[in-house]
Amino acid sequence: MNLIEAKKIKKSFGRLEVLKGISLQVSEGQVVSIIGPSGSGKSTLLRCLTQLETADQGEITVCGEKMMWTESGRAVYANKNTLHNIILNVGLVFQNFNLFPHFSVLENLIDAPIRIRGISREEATQRARKLLRKMDLASKENSYPCELSGGQQQRVAIARALAMQPRILFFDEPTSALDPELTGEILKVIRELAQEHMTMVIVTHEMAFARDVADHVIFMADGVIIEEGTPQQVFENTQNARTQAFLSRFS
Ligand code: ADP
Ligand code: MG
């Protein structure tokens, strides 16, 4: 089953057309990495798929529920209830962690499950502690985000996203704000999630990671998908001049 099905997504900011008809599918258990130059529309695409931004045209279906479609050239969104049900399936991890600074680590993890999913405090706390152990953060549950390293904060952010039990997890450059020596601990956590068959879409500038972790790689530039395929096709056998030029910057 496809957890994400997006067809011909278009999005402009004023006169700037940022997404020029992007289509993608993500099936259950699949890991998709999205690579491409800065400004090519990767974040905008993730934001459109996760309801942080409205698309202008196209069609988006999440976990079998139609989220948006196009009528007479205009975007139509599902009703509030449907959008709420859809967003419960989806987790998002940002570049800058976006933790609640005035909440402890534990509170960061239990707030949404209690408030939005209606889980009891006891159950939410139990689950949160399990996730913190998994992220090697068991001793930090009473710390505040400002007391943690960037790598620890990002692991809390990943645990917080997982605490909502999403069916699909999106990452927007999860290591870009980190010192290089902290990048590895985040990539390791995401690799472990991949081994557990978590469905993920990962925007990243870590090319070796994008190649190793993904089942499917998408190369975007200027609001279009230039090339996509298996990691081997895109990273080793590309015949596409734009892909070659982009990848050569990293070697
Ligand atoms: P990427 O994530 O690939 O670097 P983005 O999706 O962030 O690309 O941005 C694509 C283009 O859209 C850039 O030119 C950026 O300046 C522009 N853009 C992104 N968000 C907005 C916004 N809210 N308003 C105006 N322009 C935006
Ligand atoms: Mg971006």
The contacts of residue 87 (CB under 8 Å, 6+ apart) are 50, 51
| Minimum-distance ligand 1 atom for the alpha carbon of 37 | 3
- For position 123, what pLDDT does the model report? 97
104: its two tokens: 């402890």
Distance CA 168, CA 143 (A): 28
Contact 215, 183 (CB under 8 A): no
> In this predicted complex, what is the ipTM?
0.98
Tens digit of pLDDT for each residue in 197-218? 999 999 999 999 999 999 999 9
Tens digit of pLDDT for each residue in 105-152? 999 999 999 999 999 999 999 999 999 999 999 999 999 999 999 999
| Minimum-distance ligand 1 atom for the alpha carbon of 40 | 3
Evaluate if residue 251 carries a pLDDT over 90: no
44 close to ligand 1 (CB < 6 Angstrom): yes
Ligand lying closest to the C-alpha of residue 18: 1
Average pLDDT over residues 43-53: 97
Q: What is the pTM of this model?
A: 0.96
Tens digit of pLDDT for each residue in 156-190? 999 999 999 999 999 999 999 999 999 999 999 99
- For position 228, what pLDDT does the model report? 97
Neighbours of 96 (CB within 10 A): 13
Length of the chain: 251
CA of 38 to the centre of ligand 1 (A): 9
Neighbours of 92 (CB within 10 A): 21
86: its two tokens: 């859809």
The contacts of residue 29 (CB under 8 Å, 6+ apart) are 197, 198, 199
What is the side-by-side order of every strand in the sheet holding 2-13?
16-27, 2-13, 57-62, 65-71, 74-77
Contact 223, 17 (CB under 8 A): yes
* Residue from 10, 12, 13 to probe ligand 1 pocket by mutation (most atoms less than 8 Å from CB): 13
Residue from 14, 30, 31, 32 nearest 22 by CA: 32
Nearest CA to ligand 1 atom 27: 13
Owner of token pair 């605490």: 163
Owner of token pair 């005035």: 102
Tens digit of pLDDT for each residue in 8-47? 999 999 999 999 999 999 999 999 999 999 999 999 999 9
Tens digit of pLDDT for each residue in 70-94? 999 999 999 999 999 999 999 999 9
